[in-house]
Amino acid sequence: MYNKKSFEMNINELASFIDQSVLKPEFTQNDIKKYITEGIEYGCKTVCINPASIDIARELCKGTKTGICVVCDFPFGQSSTKSKVMQAEMICKDRDVEDLDVVSNYGWIKSGKWNDFEAELKAVTEVVHNFGTLLKVIFETDALNKDEIIKATEISCKVGVDFVKTSTGFFTGGTNNGAIPEIISTMIDTVKGRCKIKGAGGIRDQAAFFKLIDMGIDRMGIGYKSTPVVLGISNRVSSDVY
């Protein structure tokens, strides 16, 4: 994105890598407004929200440089293909959602149901692109092995997604490592420039944030508590799981 190292970037440039996560289901309406507003003030690329928060985000983001990223079938990805497609269409139809982050059926990935995985992803990609929205597909890499990540990435590139993404930040089936360098390196090596890469989960300090930028990542999902930390606005270490 920039022909410079992360430590050379100003806050606006660094913030352009961030989709600030405002996704916790227990958030009140006031919490949602507060953390969306903070994401806008930090200059984040987008605020990443649940579908129920679209109206709040639309009002607050209007006229700003911060866009709206909405999750689809989040966080488990276990709806039917028809349901995912319908949800994607409902989210994108007003054409003011920049990005849609859809959770793949990673149980299908683990089961080797590659034809079903591809068919579902193709159907979602087609409807999302019809509205001019960018599509990110979440693999939940902590649930997968390296070979599964590589094959899922290959299929995603074939289908034409805009981003492959590591994690939801809400994985409950094991260790929640998120966007660790080894996973990002595997995705970069597999993508070979055919689509972009978003890392999410576990990016809670500036050292991790800078390392991923310098590796060549395109976007990162950062928890609302962690955004000021990775931007260097706050020195505290965030405990946010996202």
Instruction: Identify which of 174, 172, 163, 158 has the alpha carbon closest to the alpha carbon of residue 139.
Output: 163
Catalytic residue flag (residue 165): yes
The two tokens of residue 233 are 């606005």
79 vs 104: CA distance, rounded Å: 10
In order, the DSSP letters of 50-118 are: -GGGHHHHHHHHTTSS-EEEEEESTTT--S-HHHHHHHHHHHHTTS---EEEEEP-HHHHHHT-HHHHH
Paired with 196 in beta bridges are 163
Q: Which of 45, 136, 165, 196 is catalytic?
A: 165
Given 101, 142, 162, 218, the catalytic residue: 101
Q: What angle do CA 188, 107, 191 make, to 5 degrees?
A: 15
Find the catalytic residue in 84, 196, 198, 225: 198
- For residues 136 and 101, give the distance between their C-alpha atoms in angstroms, rounded to a whole number: 5
Give, as one character, the DSSP assignment of residue 139: -
Contact 185, 164 (CB under 8 A): no
Catalytic amino acids? Answer: 101, 165, 198
